[in-house]
Every structure is written in C-alpha cells, then in structure tokens.
A and B are shown apart, each in its own frame.
Chain A
C-alpha cells in the first residue's frame, strides 16, 4: 500500500531518520512523485546533461522540475539526492562546477559525486552540502572510502556491486561513513567507474559521457539467422525466433570463447537482494538503493512498493522476516531477462 505522510513507525529512529533508507530512482518528475507516493525515503535524480551517469535522451530534470520535485519530497518529509557522478572532462570543468553550484542552490539533501576534483570544489565552496560517494567512484574497500572522508568529508558511500556480503560488512565496520548498497535493478558485472568497455565500442562510457552502451549506437536487424542487435556495428547478440530479445548492453551479449557461444561475461539478469535485508540491517548498512533512473514510472512504483513492504517487515521483526512469493513475482515482471540473481553478494556467483 502507498505510504503517505511521515507517520513514525518502528523504522524511524529517534531523530526522525529511518534506520534503513529506501533510495529510489527517478528519471522524471512523475517517477519522483511515484517513488514518494509508494514509500521511498529518498529519491535520486540527475540534471539533463552529461554530469550524471544516466544521461539518456528524454530523461532527467531541468531547474523547474527539480524545484517542484524537492518541494514534493520535502512536503512529505522525504529527501532528494542529486547524482553529479560522471567525471568532469578535461575541456568542460566549468560545466561540472556550475552543476555543483546549481545543486547546492537547489536545496537537494545530498549530492552524489564520483570525481575527487569535484568533491574538493564542493567541500571548499559549499561546505554545508552533504556529499555521497557515487558507485562510479569505485570505492570497494574502507581505505578508499576513508580517503574521501578524510579529504572531503563524504558522509555516505554507495558500494560497487562487486562486493560479497561479508565484504560489505567489513567495509561498514571500518568506516565512519554510512554505506548504501544496491538492492535491486540491472546488474553491473564490472566495477563501476572502472569499465571502459562502452567507450571501447562506441566512444562513450559512463565515466566520460554518463552512458553505457548508448541507445544511439544500437541497431536492430532481422536476418535469416534471427534478430540481431548491434552496438556501433559490433554484433552483441542474435536471437532465435522463440527467444526474447533484450537491450544490447555489451557485457550481456553472447560471444564465442574457445569454440563455445555463451554469455561470456554475464546473462541479462537483475540484481535482487530482498533475502539479504535482515543481514544488511544487522550489519548497519544505512540505505538500500534501487537502480533504474532510465526505467518507467510503472517500474518505479512496482519496485518501490515491494521494497517498502519488505523493509517495513524486516524493521518490525527481522527474525520473522522472509521473502514473500508475491514480492518475487512482482519484481520478476520488471527484471531484465525475467531473471534475478544475488550477484556478487553471494560468493558462488563469482
């Protein structure tokens, strides 16, 4: 059920902040409102340009939409984070700096940053601005996270999707910085911020252009052998007549290795960590993030609703918590390739 208002529940700590925040994606104002209506504690958004890692056509926020989004969230006691999480390119530093100024002026609750230079600028110019280390910052260990804490006072780190659950615990125990982990969404098989496969293929990557396997390089073609998906001419996959075709994210195609054709890097699959919720709570993880600013408001509604119920149940009684079949069924409908995995949290995945 949609959660309205900020009625205190078991999940609200004394100072008003939830024990475990549900952080949901919004690629548009309707998605932001949908996320909040369905129980998101925080929503993360981006400007409509290359300063964030979901720089897709028709997506993201202009100044008016941000103002309205923040008003909508704050009126309901929720937060808005702004992702400024690409790397300022050599000839465009001014653009990123101006984006940081706009973010600070807009009244967002935190800015999600990957680039140390940009963090240094924010810490010096907008010392009151709360900084979260983006997953694009590639901090996979507490030494790295503490570097950003020592130098720029970051208050939260979003952990890359390569850590096992034990490693998440080790990080969380050894840093004063809050940790945020991915709970659901498209699975990145590579360490975020250290993957140039997309620019190798298309010239544009998350680090440089805020995109991975960008749509403008995608071509679909029906051939006698089947439906082919290409990225800048490179054949990513070919589908038989009985197969569902998926978006050609280049690490999720089928390739030939040692005489065998298979998903050489990763299957089209979604990360789903619902069953880990009690452990995440127990180890003191501060927030669970849902991936998918590029997805529709319907996706945001569905995923937010399920995770709100799950978190509320886990907060109310972690010992009796279990994943409800209805949640899994709901999430399966919006999963990539209709498949879900625990990913790196679960050691055998590696």
Chain B
C-alpha cells in the first residue's frame, strides 16, 4: 500500500506551511494532496504558491494531487475550483460534484465527500473519470469489503487512516463564533489553533474539534492496528492527515508497520503521546466513530 499525506485541514502561517512541506520531501510518503479545502478566506498560500510547493514535491519524487474545496458556495469559490481543475500540471481530487462536472471526463480522484456508499455510485464516478476513490469516513470494514468485491476496473481505493476526522462542514465559522467575531471579519483566528480548537462536554469529555467552518472529531482516528486488514481488502492507498507536530514520526510509524519492520502495538504505544488526543477507530468496526476498539493480537489482549 502507498502512503498519502492528505490535504492540510488547518490554517498555519505561510512559513510554517512551507517548512512543513519542505520536510515532507524527505518523508516516506508516496502521494501528497495539496491545496486549501476548508475555507476560501484563508490566503497564506494561494494557488500559485501551492503549485510551487507541488513542483518542489514532484521534484522529490512525490505524486502530487491538488484538492478542491469541499463546500463551494460563492462565485469566487467556484472560480478557484475551476482554476485548480484547469491547472495543466497535476491531477485533481474532486471534493464536490461541481468539480466533477468541471473536470468533464478528465481523470481525477473522487474525494471522501462525494458520498460513495454503493457500487452503482462508484460506477457513476468511474464513468465520469475517477481513477481513485476515497472511502467515506463513516464507512467501515464490512462496507468496504462489499465495495472492493466489484469495484470498476482500474479503480484504486484510498482509506483515511490517521488524523482528526473532518466530520461536518457549515456556512458558519465556529472559530470566529467562539471569539464573537462575524465570519466576514474573522481576523483569521483559526490560525491560533494549529490542530483545531477542542470542544468538550460539560463533564470534560473530549468530543469534537472546531476548525473554522469544519467540525472534526476530537479523537484521532487511527487504523494502525488494521493495516493488514486493509491490505487484505486490496486497499491501494492509506491517507494520513497532517498535524502540526510530530507528523514525520507518525508517517515513519505507519511505514514501519506497513513494511513489517515493527508491530503495530509497539508503534502505537510510541505514537500515542505524539497524538493531539486519544485514538479512535470505531467506524472501521461498525461502531460509533468515537469509540476505540482495542486490537486482539495473538496472545495479547
């Protein structure tokens, strides 16, 4: 299986973002998804900047894919999407059917928000040009197994395997709301939260993470214990979602397990203090997404 670095969900200062991707050149990832997928007000990097980052990573031997914004509302957002799609250098991850339409049959990656839950829908996207699809976050092993049985010829499958899960999108900016600021004058306060803003219940249970117009899980989804299952199901790519600290160790850990140099349990024990919150994997096991189903290794509980 290949390792992909998913699109950056947070708003980091320009310098941090550039430094992050510069270091990615040396990491054992095969594919890097780039671009602003959350909020069109974020402007530390614009498309020409992302294309420069893309060139740098392509030079380092990475497969680069440009991701489109998930929630497209305004004319400006549609125009940005068209520019991304019409770039002549890199393939595109379509995160909205509007992007699929504008692709007009060119090959693309069908992002996790196109809601592919069944074979006929995967066929529709294959006919539209999709060559890889990303499983919806809330789908689990049983659903994927079914879809893998008769996926269209040549269609690759990618699974979100690490990171806080982007669970919902809104027109409202919840980070600005937290500061009592209107979205139109948000003062880019999401930059203060490089891994999002934690939302807890009144009894201090970590529940969700606010990231601008996006709501993420508080827990960090990880399929590190399930990588052999993913391989058995014929998954082609696992997606690791960037976090602000220790991302290289996360990538190295997944690589070590994939190459069977280390046991998942040992790697997870090492990575857990490097994660911004506790792990979860419930979706994969057909459970509520926030749950953590502990692995049952032979002889180990």
**A binding-site residues for B, Cβ under 8 Å:** 87-91, 93, 96, 114-118, 120-121, 137-144, 146-148, 150-151, 162-164, 167, 170, 189-191, 193-197, 199-203, 205, 207-208, 232, 234-238, 251, 254-258, 260-261, 264-266, 344, 347-350
Taking a contact as CB atoms under 8 Å apart, the answer to whether A257 and B73 are in contact is: no
User: Given contacts A90-B147, A202-B288, A234-B201, is CB(A264)–CB(B178) below 8 Å?
Assistant: yes
Complex CA gap A117/B121 in Å reads 4
Whole-angstrom distance from the CB of A257 to the nearest CB of chain B? 5
User: Given contacts A87-B117, A199-B283, A208-B138, is CB(A257)–CB(B183) below 8 Å?
Assistant: no
Taking a contact as CB atoms under 8 Å apart, the answer to whether B97 and A139 are in contact is: yes
User: Given contacts A140-B72, A150-B101, A348-B182, is CB(A197)–CB(B118) below 8 Å?
Assistant: no
Taking a contact as CB atoms under 8 Å apart, the answer to whether B75 and A170 are in contact is: yes
**B binding-site residues for A, Cβ under 8 Å:** 70-75, 77-78, 81, 96-102, 113, 115, 117-125, 128, 136-139, 142-144, 146-147, 165, 167-174, 177-178, 182-184, 197-205, 207-208, 210, 215, 217, 282-283, 286-290
Taking a contact as CB atoms under 8 Å apart, the answer to whether A87 and B282 are in contact is: no
Taking a contact as CB atoms under 8 Å apart, the answer to whether B143 and A91 are in contact is: yes
Whole-angstrom distance from the CB of A306 to the nearest CB of chain B? 26
Taking a contact as CB atoms under 8 Å apart, the answer to whether A201 and B288 are in contact is: yes
Other-chain residue from B73, B100, B125, B288 in contact with A162 (beta carbon distance below 8 A)? B73
Complex CA gap A87/B182 in Å reads 34
30 A-B pairs (CB sep. < 8 Å): A87-B117, A90-B118, A90-B147, A115-B121, A116-B121, A117-B121, A117-B123, A117-B124, A139-B98, A140-B73, A140-B96, A143-B72, A144-B98, A146-B101, A151-B128, A162-B71, A163-B171, A167-B74, A194-B70, A194-B71, A194-B168, A200-B138, A207-B138, A208-B138, A234-B201, A235-B201, A251-B215, A255-B200, A344-B172, A349-B171
Q: Find chain B residues with CB under 8 A from A205 CB.
A: 138
Which 7 residue pairs are nearest across A and B when measured between Cβ atoms?
A117-B120, A143-B98, A117-B121, A162-B171, A147-B101, A90-B146, A200-B289
Q: Find chain B residues with CB under 8 A from A232 CB.
A: 288
Whole-angstrom distance from the CB of A72 to the nearest CB of chain B? 34
What 17 additional pairs, Cβ within 8 angstroms, besides A141-B72, A195-B167, A350-B173? A89-B117, A96-B118, A117-B123, A117-B124, A140-B72, A140-B73, A143-B98, A147-B98, A163-B171, A190-B169, A196-B138, A207-B117, A238-B202, A256-B199, A256-B202, A261-B202, A264-B174
Q: Find chain A residues with CB under 8 A from B170 CB.
A: 162, 189-191, 265
Complex CA gap A166/B299 in Å reads 62
Whole-angstrom distance from the CB of A324 to the nearest CB of chain B? 29
Taking a contact as CB atoms under 8 Å apart, the answer to whether A191 and B124 are in contact is: no
Q: Find chain A residues with CB under 8 A from B198 CB.
A: 257
User: Given contacts A189-B172, A199-B288, is CB(A350)–CB(B182) below 8 Å?
Assistant: yes
Q: Find chain A residues with CB under 8 A from B100 CB.
A: 147
User: Given contacts A143-B72, A199-B283, A350-B173, is CB(A117)–CB(B182) below 8 Å?
Assistant: no
In the complex, the chain A residue whose C-beta lies closest to that of B114 is: A116
Taking a contact as CB atoms under 8 Å apart, the answer to whether A203 and B97 are in contact is: no
User: Given contacts A118-B120, A234-B205, A234-B207, is CB(A196)–CB(B289) below 8 Å?
Assistant: yes
Q: Find chain A residues with CB under 8 A from B290 CB.
A: 200-201, 234
Q: Find chain B residues with CB under 8 A from A114 CB.
A: 115
Other-chain residue from B98, B117, B184, B215 in contact with A90 (beta carbon distance below 8 A)? B117
Whole-angstrom distance from the CB of B75 to the nearest CB of chain A? 6
In the complex, the chain A residue whose C-beta lies closest to that of B217 is: A200
Taking a contact as CB atoms under 8 Å apart, the answer to whether B184 and A347 are in contact is: yes
Q: Find chain A residues with CB under 8 A from B75 CB.
A: 170
Taking a contact as CB atoms under 8 Å apart, the answer to whether B200 and A120 are in contact is: no
Other-chain residue from A96, A118, A142, A264 in contact with B210 (beta carbon distance below 8 A)? A264
Whole-angstrom distance from the CB of A158 to the nearest CB of chain B? 15
Interface centre among A116, A190, A201, A232, by most chain B C-beta atoms within 10 angstroms, is: A116
In the complex, the chain B residue whose C-beta lies closest to that of A133 is: B97
